[in-house]
Amino acid sequence: MQDPELLQEGLGLMALGMGFVFVFLAILVFLLTLMSGIIRRFQPAPAPVAPGGGAKPAPRGKGQDDETLAVISAAVHRYRSKRRR
């Protein structure tokens, strides 16, 4: 069989391929950082409600919070008292 040759070629392709993937993505990281930097400098502060990839936005007012709490506890109370009967 052509063992050593095939093996060597496989090893070569592995090193080349992995190296290339890393270099390519490293360049991409660099360019992305650069691009974001430029864009954010010239078009600063996207509105906080922008369709961002962030997790859930939580701009809750205090008053609203209290109100919700009151409603929930009323509902729980009602449910429980109904169940006991």
Partner 1 sequence: MDKLLTLWQGSGLYNLELGQAVMVMVGLLLLYLAIYKKFEPLLLVPIGFGGILANIPEAGLALSALDQAIDVGRPVLLEQIASALGGSLDSQANIESWRTSLQQMMANGASAEQLATAKAVAKGAGYGDGLLYMFYTVAITSGIAPLIIFMGVGAMTDFGPLLANPRTLFLGAAAQFGIFATLFGAVLLSSMGWMDFSLNQAAAIGIIGGADGPTSIYVSSMLAPELLGAIAVAAYAYMALVPLIQPPIMRLLTSKKEREITMTQLRPVSKLEKIVFPLLLLILVALFLPDASPLLGMFCFGNLMRECGVVERLSDTAQNSLINIVTIMLGLAVGSKLMADSFLAVETLGIMALGIVAFGIGTTAGVLMAKLMNLVSKMPINPLIGAAGVSAVPMAARVANKVGLESNPHNFLLMHAMGPNVAGVIGSAVAAGVMIKYLG
Round to whole Å and give the CA distance between 16 and 10: 10
Round to whole Å and give the CA distance between 13 and 24: 16
Round to whole Å and give the CA distance between 85 and 83: 5
CA atoms within 13 A on the CB side of 4: 0
Q: Does 72 engage in binding with partner 1 (CB under 8 A)?
A: no
Q: Does 3 engage in binding with partner 1 (CB under 8 A)?
A: yes
Q: Does 59 engage in binding with partner 1 (CB under 8 A)?
A: no
Q: Does 10 engage in binding with partner 1 (CB under 8 A)?
A: yes
Q: Which of 55, 60, 81, 82 binds partner 1 (CB under 8 A)?
A: 55
Q: Among residues 42 and 84, whose Cβ is nearest to partner 1?
A: 42
Give the interface size with partner 1 as a residue count (CB under 8 A): 38
